[in-house]
Amino acid sequence: MEFTTKHIAITGAGSGIGRAIAQRLDRAGAKLSLFGRRPEALEETAGLLRGSAHWASLDISDRSAVEFAFTDAVGVHGPLHALVANAGVGGSNSPADEGGDRFDELVDTNLRGTYYSMRAAQAHLVGREAGARHIIAISSILARIGVPGYSGYCASKTALLGLVRSLSVELAPEGILVNAICPGWVDTDMAWEGLDGMAGALAISREAAHSIAMGDVPIGRMGKPAEVAGLVAYLLSDDAAGTTGSAIDINGGAFMA
Ligand code: NAP
């Protein structure tokens, strides 16, 4: 897959899945704009790439910052071809939590922030030359199943599927394809924080928590960030030109629609 002339924006590109997506698309020659909150993490990702990536520090829940950053990126790399809305926060939430219920934080980032990113990108995707433009949201297997203690994460990731379905219809006349990816366990810091939470709740080691979690995964292992990146590359390719409004599972068989 060659994306040599394509400008692709990735949110949450400073770590984990977002970094792997940046590396995958960089290898295919894309011009990349990388967004996230921690400048040092973005700079580190940019340093791993062959191409010269543009990066900017922003909080996706700040709508005007997102709009400014996308306009700025288009000034650097030219018209946008695609957005991979990958940024998100994980973890549990409860009204009983010390420090308060994180529900708003989860929804503000995972849902509102993703929506702001999509709308900011849309402004630079429309009215360009012929050929598909793309918006891809990284949702989660927790959009498919309920998990106790994860109401904010489950709700925000499930809402992304409604967002994708609606925008896929709304933006089809503009030639913009809108899809979601729903990963299961992927070997990143976020996943290990989840396993540490499970280990703490059950008073077991993180290795034991990992073993319990993998018991629900038929292939018996976590996914790799590069495997999610490969699916992103496929969705951005001409081979997926007929795919829109979809939510594609990549979870080692842990959930089957
Ligand atoms: P990660 O390494 O924690 O990546 C999350 C990224 O999002 C970070 O680079 C973070 O960077 C960025 N981010 C968080 N809040 C942000 C905000 N308000 N504004 C801008 N950037 C923000 O974890 P990951 O596993 O790669 O997660 C990537 C995506 O995959 C997330 O949407 C996650 O929900 C989803 N996912 C992960 C798994 C899994 O098992 N790992 C499974 C299903 C879905 P900063 O902290 O620098 O902002």
CA-wise closest residue to 233 among 23, 5, 36, 64: 23
pLDDT in tens, 181-194: 999 999 999 999 99
Adjacency order of strands within the sheet including 176-183:
54-57, 31-36, 7-11, 82-85, 133-138, 176-183, 247-250
Residue 257: is its pLDDT beyond 90? no
pLDDT at 126: 74
pLDDT in tens, 108-157: 999 999 999 999 999 999 766 667 899 999 999 999 999 999 999 999 99
What whole-number percentage of the chain has pLDDT above 90? 95
| Residues known to be catalytic | 153
Nearest CA to ligand 1 atom 6: 12
Residue 174: is its pLDDT beyond 70? yes
Residue 12 alpha carbon to ligand 1 centre in Å: 6
CA-wise closest residue to 84 among 122, 42, 30, 138: 138
Nearest CA to ligand 1 atom 48: 37
Closest atom, ligand 1, to C-alpha of 189: 2
pLDDT at 1: 67
pLDDT at 132: 86
Domains of the chain: 7-184+224-249 (3.40.50.720), 186-222 (no CATH)
pLDDT in tens, 102-115: 999 999 999 999 99
Q: Which residues line ligand 1 (CB under 6 A)?
A: 11-12, 14-18, 36-38, 41, 59-61, 86-90, 109, 113, 138, 140, 183, 185-186, 188-191
Residues 152, 11: Cα–Cα separation, whole Å = 20
Residue 79: is its pLDDT beyond 70? yes
pLDDT at 8: 97
> Mean pLDDT over residues 86-99, rounded?
95
Residue 236 alpha carbon to ligand 1 centre in Å: 20
pLDDT in tens, 161-170: 999 999 999 9
pLDDT in tens, 36-62: 999 999 999 999 999 999 999 999 999
Strand 247-250 vs strand 176-183: parallel, antiparallel, or unpaired?
parallel
- Per the CB < 8 A criterion, the answer to whether 34 and 54 are in contact is yes
pLDDT at 129: 65
What whole-number percentage of the chain has pLDDT above 70? 98
pLDDT at 34: 98
Nearest CA to ligand 1 atom 18: 59
Which band of pLDDT confidence, cut at 50, 70 and 90, is reported for residue 211? very high
pTM of the model: 0.98
Closest atom, ligand 1, to C-alpha of 59: 19
Nearest CA to ligand 1 atom 34: 88
Residue type for 50, please?
R
pLDDT at 37: 98
Q: Per the structure block, which two tokens stand in for 98? A: 């010390």
